[in-house]
């Protein structure tokens, strides 16, 4: 089975930064959220106290929930593609939503009218959740494609720029509330229906983090991210700003085109860059270090 | 797919309803409904243990109870949770490391499945099933000599589904008139090949009332009434589709496993769906509280451990429902002739 998408069916949006606590939030509402944060910390044996500023900023961001953000893109997508026949709707995110207890996947299934779609949200997988989501989509569509007809999936990424408490780690990214979606189609055969301009997902891999920079290049050759025939195509590596600097210091990568995504766009960042760089007869390798792992996703856009 | 084993972690001493009333101050009306109408008695709560403590205890127990051969085959871990985030944001990478270290596999795949509320457990099972079928398929392709980028021999891989959360705040302590939450954790070991005493997952079906995806935030009386009216027909339809998928009739079921909230719902579902009220497994229904995504798995474990052979069922229907409009059901069957 092959999984493919058109660059024109990658849609994204960056929302205005929300750095100001709202002056209109009632103190009763703030107290409720603070009590939630304190109890949450306590359930993790953390002694920190909820701070007014992040709580207030988070309450303010509730006007911009994942559902609200993604509905905007779904409306845009509906203008260019049929989306009432989706088989699968997947949400991935790094930061938590500004809404507790919601089902974004259910809301989007309803919005698109794809009432028989299966919905799953992937959390706690870091910034690379969109990478693993592609593998999940491929596995799921293959699992249900007994009748061999093409299947459709919607992959959505969304992140908030505000969470319930201060996080220096998140602040380092200078995050923007942003979202992105990809409309994907599967074909049951191993030989993809060649649609001009479509990008084909090739492989997802997760490895241990190489011990040194010098180990990265040899690692790539062991991963089989592309077939032998595809290896003849020019390669573009897409990665984060800090990791692109690591790669550029290694002479092995001197002949390889390395492009850097905008870290502020969090989970959406790789896809925004892929849309921008999409060109025929090219291999794309998305890679990022995550915790103690390296995560890879590969794509090919053939003529 | 097969459920090989379930490791559970339940509070050694259950908290009685009288103490819950004092702790949560849920009011006289709720107390009357919970005690007299729903006949609820207690909840499993860990007063002093934190979520990381409990997760660690569960994993240790899994290691102690699990067949070592199956334990070594674990490659995928999914944590199904009802809340959108159960761990502080800066602990997320640590969480992945916890599983990698525990299972001794740096490349183990871990993520949480969320946003189907308390039906996220069944959503995760569907993911694990697709994942492990794909692994099996990869192996077959490899054996047949076809090219398959990055494939490895994964014929006998296993997955673990983690369920369970803390009732740390009013938001996750009780639901007016319907019931209250509990803290009990499960690690459910699944794989694609049977093992002694494993249960075969014959069918798993999920459907959504998508219009209610945001009802926890934006709702009104009219919308809530509409949800209440739709609930039983949609859950009944979910049950019918699941049974059809398993090729079973309602009268062939030997046990129905409820989730632990609003017990009367299951009598109504029995009447609508055509199975006897007597086969609703009530062992934990009044005593543990609604343990988020864990209920189905706690009940499978209790059912199999039950001393009464009449109760140890061969064809089991387990149900789950998510507050934001997700409905799930699965049919499990015991294929092992050695289980009486």
Residues 3-42 of B with CB under 8 A from A: none
Q: Is residue B140 part of a domain?
A: yes
Q: CA of B248 to nearest chain A CA: how many angstroms apart?
A: 21
Q: Is the pLDDT of residue A191 over 60?
A: no
What sign does the dihedral B45-B49-B52-B55 (CA atoms) show?
negative
In a domain, B243, yes or no: yes
Residues B17, B45, single domain; the answer is: yes
Mean local confidence (pLDDT), B89-117: 87
Q: What are the tens digits of pLDDT across the range A196-236?
A: 689 999 999 999 999 999 999 999 989 999 999 999 999 99
The tally of domains found in chain B comes to: 2
Chain B window 152-211: which residues touch A at a Cβ cutoff of 8 Å?
166, 168-171, 206-211
Residue-wise pLDDT tens digits, B115-142:
888 999 999 999 999 989 888 777 666 6
More confident residue, B213 or B268: B268
pLDDT of residue B340: 41
pLDDT band at A21 (very low <50, low <70, confident <90, very high): low
Q: Does a structural domain hold residue B340?
A: no
> Predicted confidence band at A60 (pLDDT cuts at 50, 70, 90)?
confident
Which positions 120-159 of A are in contact with B (Cβ < 8 Å)?
Answer: 120-126, 129, 132, 136, 138-140, 142-143
**Cα–Cα separations (whole angstroms), residue A288 to A291, B11, B89, B102, B334:** 10, 41, 19, 24, 44
Give percent above pLDDT 70 in chain A: 94
pLDDT score recorded for residue A187: 83
Are B31 and B90 found together in one domain?
A: yes
Q: For residues B180 and B309, state if they share a domain.
A: no
Whether the Cβ atoms of residue B234 and residue B207 lie closer than 8 Å to each other? yes
**Which of B191, B224, B251 is the C-terminal boundary of a domain?**
B191
CATH of region A2-18+58-187: 3.40.47.10
Do residue B19 and residue B168 come from a single domain? yes
On whether residue B162 sits in a domain, the answer given is yes
E-strand ranges in A93-234 read 118-123, 151-159, 178-187, 198-208
Report if residue B159 sits inside a domain.
yes
Q: Give B298's pLDDT tier (boundaries 50, 70, 90).
A: very high
Q: Which of A86, A19, A29, A88 is nearest to A57 (CA)?
A: A19
Q: Is the domain of B51 the same as that of B157?
A: yes
The whole-angstrom separation of Cα B162 and Cα A92 is: 19
Segment B58-87 mean pLDDT: 93
pLDDT mean across residues, chain B: 89
| Identity of the residue in A107, A123, A293 whose CB atom sits nearest the CB atom of B111 | A123
The pLDDT, as a whole number, for residue B338 is 42
Q: Which pLDDT band, with edges at 50, 70 and 90, does B83 fall under?
A: confident
- Alpha-carbon distance of A114 to A85, in angstroms, equals 5
Residues B217 and B258 in one domain: yes
* Helix/strand/coil percentages in chain B, nearest 5: 40, 25, 35
**Model confidence at B151, in pLDDT bands (50, 70, 90)?**
very low
The predicted structure's pLDDT at residue B153: 47
Alpha-carbon distance values, A265 to A57, A256, A279, A296, B298 (Å): 19, 24, 22, 18, 40
Instruction: Say how many residues make up chain B.
Output: 340
Per-residue confidence (pLDDT) for residue A19, from 0 to 100: 60
- The answer to whether residues B18 and B38 belong to one domain is yes
B175 lies in the same domain as B227:
no
Give contacts of B173 with chain A, Cβ < 8 Å.
none
- Interface check B227 vs A, CB under 8 A: no
pLDDT of residue A189: 63
Least confident of A1-5, A187-191, B3-7, B63-67: A187-191
Q: At B118, which CATH number?
A: 3.40.47.10
Which tokens in the block code for residue A241? Answer: 């700003």
Whether residues B308 and B226 fall in one domain = yes
CA-based nearest residue to A136, from B232, B130, B9? B130
Q: Which domain holds residue B142?
A: 2-191
B87 pairs with which residues across the strands? none
Among A159, A163, A168, residue whose Cα is nearest residue A55? A163
Put simply, the chain A residues between 221 and 240 with a CB less than 8 A from any chain B CB are 223-227
Distance CA B105, CA B83 (A): 27
Q: Which residue of A has its CA nearest to B209?
A: A106
Mean pLDDT of A151-177: 93
């Amino acid at each position: 089975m092959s999984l493919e998408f058109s660059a024109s069916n990658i849609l994204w949006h960056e929302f205005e930064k929300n750095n100001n606590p709202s002056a209109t939030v009632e103190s009763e509402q703030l107290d409720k959220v603070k009590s939630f944060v304190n109890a949450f910390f306590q359930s993790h044996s953390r002694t920190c106290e909820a701070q007014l500023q992040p709580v207030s900023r988070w309450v303010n961001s509730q006007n911009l929930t994942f559902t609200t953000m993604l509905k905007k893109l779904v409306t845009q997508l509906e203008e260019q593609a049929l989306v009432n026949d989706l088989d699968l709707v997947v949400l991935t995110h790094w930061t938590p939503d500004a809404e507790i207890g919601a089902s974004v996947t259910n809301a989007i299934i309803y919005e698109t009218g794809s009432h028989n779609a299966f919905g799953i949200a992937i959390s706690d997988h870091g910034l690379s959740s969109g990478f693993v989501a592609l593998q999940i989509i491929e596995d799921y569509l293959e699992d249900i494609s007994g009748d061999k007809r093409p299947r459709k999936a919607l992959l959505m990424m969304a992140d908030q720029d505000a969470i319930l408490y201060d996080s220096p780690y998140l602040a380092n990214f200078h995050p923007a509330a942003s979202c992105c979606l990809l409309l994907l189609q599967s074909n049951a055969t191993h030989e993809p229906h060649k649609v001009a301009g479509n990008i084909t997902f090739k492989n997802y891999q997760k490895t241990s983090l190489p011990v040194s920079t010098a180990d990265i290049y040899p690692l790539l050759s062991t991963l089989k991210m592309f077939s032998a025939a595809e290896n003849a195509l020019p390669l573009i590596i897409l990665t984060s700003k800090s990791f692109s600097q690591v790669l550029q210091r290694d002479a092995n990568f001197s002949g390889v085109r390395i492009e850097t995504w905008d870290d502020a766009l969090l989970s959406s960042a790789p896809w925004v860059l892929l849309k921008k760089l999409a060109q025929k007869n090219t291999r794309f390798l998305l890679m990022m270090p995550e915790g103690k792992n390296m995560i890879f996703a590969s794509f090919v856009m053939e003529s | 797919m097969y459920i090989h084993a379930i490791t559970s972690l339940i509070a050694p001493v259950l908290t009685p309803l009288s103490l819950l009333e004092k702790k949560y101050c849920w009011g006289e009306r709720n107390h009357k409904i919970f005690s007299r109408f729903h006949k609820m008695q207690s909840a499993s709560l860990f007063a002093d243990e934190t979520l990381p403590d409990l997760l660690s205890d569960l994993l240790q127990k899994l290691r102690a109870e699990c067949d070592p051969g199956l334990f070594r085959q674990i490659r995928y871990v999914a944590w199904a949770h009802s809340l959108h985030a159960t761990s502080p944001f800066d602990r997320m990478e640590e969480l992945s490391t916890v599983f990698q270290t525990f299972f001794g596999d740096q490349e183990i795949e871990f993520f949480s499945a969320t946003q189907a509320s308390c039906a996220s457990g069944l959503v995760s099972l569907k993911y694990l099933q697709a994942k492990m079928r794909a692994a099996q398929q990869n192996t077959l392709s490899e054996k047949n000599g076809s090219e398959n980028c990055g494939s490895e021999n994964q014929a006998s891989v296993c997955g673990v589904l983690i369920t369970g959360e803390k009732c740390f705040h009013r938001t996750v302590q009780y639901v007016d008139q319907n019931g209250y939450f509990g803290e009990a954790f499960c690690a459910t070991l699944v794989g694609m090949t049977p093992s002694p005493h494993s249960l075969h997952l014959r069918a798993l079906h999920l459907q959504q009332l998508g219009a209610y995806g945001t009802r926890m935030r934006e709702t009104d009386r009219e919308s809530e009434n509409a949800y209440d009216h739709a609930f039983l027909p949609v859950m009944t339809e979910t049950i019918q589709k699941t049974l059809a998928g398993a090729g079973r009739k309602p009268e062939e079921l030997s046990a129905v496993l409820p989730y632990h909230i609003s017990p009367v719902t299951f009598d109504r579902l029995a009447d609508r769906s055509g199975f006897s009220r007597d086969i609703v497994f009530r062992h934990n229904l009044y005593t543990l509280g609604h343990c988020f995504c864990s209920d189905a798995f706690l009940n499978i474990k209790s059912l199999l451990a039950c001393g009464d052979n009449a109760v140890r069922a061969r064809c089991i229907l387990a149900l789950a429902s998510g507050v934001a409009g997700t409905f799930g059901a699965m049919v499990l069957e015991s294929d092992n002739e050695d289980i009486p």
